[in-house]
Chains A and B, each alone.
Chain A
Amino acid sequence: MSDYKLRRSLLYVPGNMPSMLQNIPIFNCDSVIIDLEDAVPLSEKDAARHLVKRFLMNYTDRNKELLVRINPLDSRWGYEDLKVVLPAMPDGIRLPKADTPEIVERLDTLLTEFEEELEVEIGRFRVLPSLESALGVINAVGIANSSQRIFALAFGAEDYTASMEIERTRGGEELFNARMRVLWAAKAAGIQAVDTIFADVSDMEGLRAETEHAKRLGYTGKCLVNPRQIEVVHEVFAPKQHEVDYALQVIEAIQRARQLGTGVIALGGKMVDAPVVKRAARVLRTAYAHGMVDTLIDEEAIHGAQ
Chain B
Amino acid sequence: MKIVKKVQAGTLQSSDLMVFLAPAEALCVTIESTVQKQFGELIRAKVDEVLAQHGIEAGEVRITDRGALDYAIEARLETAIRRGTEV
List residues of A whose CB falls within 8 A of some B CB. 16-19, 22, 46-47, 50-51, 53-55, 57-58
B29 at interface (Cβ–Cβ under 8 A)? no
Assembled-state Cα–Cα distance A55/B75 (Å): 8
A51-B76 contact, Cβ under 8 Å, with A17-B13, A19-B15: yes
Q: A17-B13, A19-B13, A47-B76 are in contact. List 12 more A-B contacts (CB 8 A).
A: A18-B13, A18-B15, A18-B68, A18-B69, A19-B16, A46-B79, A50-B75, A51-B76, A54-B71, A54-B75, A55-B72, A58-B70
Q: Of A16, A46, A53, A57, which contacts B82 at CB under 8 A?
A: A46
Residues on B with C-beta less than 8 A from A51 are 71-72, 75-76, 79
The reply to whether A17 and B16 contact each other, CB–CB distance below 8 Å, is: yes
A199–B76 CA distance with the chains assembled, in angstroms = 30
Complex CA gap A47/B16 in Å reads 12
Q: Quick check: B72 and A18 within 8 Å, CB to CB?
A: yes
Residues from chain B with Cβ under 8 Å of A47 in the complex? 9-10, 75-76, 79
User: A58, B71: Cβ atoms under 8 Å?
Assistant: yes
B5: Cβ under 8 A from any A Cβ: no
Residue B78 CB within 8 A of the other chain? yes
Tell whether A22 pairs with B15 under 8 Å between CB atoms, given A46-B79, A47-B10.
yes
Residues of B within 8 A of A16 (CB): 11
Q: How far is the CA of A19 from the CA of B67 in the complex (A)?
A: 10
- Docked CA distance A17–B11 (Å): 9
Would A57 and B79 count as touching, CB distance under 8 A? no
**Residues of B contacting A54 with CB < 8 Å?**
71-72, 74-75, 78
Q: Could you write out 25 A-B pairs with CB less than 8 Å apart?
A: A17-B13, A17-B16, A18-B15, A18-B16, A18-B68, A18-B69, A19-B14, A22-B69, A46-B79, A46-B83, A47-B9, A47-B75, A47-B76, A50-B75, A50-B82, A51-B76, A51-B79, A53-B75, A54-B72, A54-B75, A55-B71, A55-B72, A55-B75, A58-B70, A58-B71
A95: min CB distance to chain B, Å? 24
Interface centre among A18, A22, A57, A58 (most CB of B within 10 A): A18
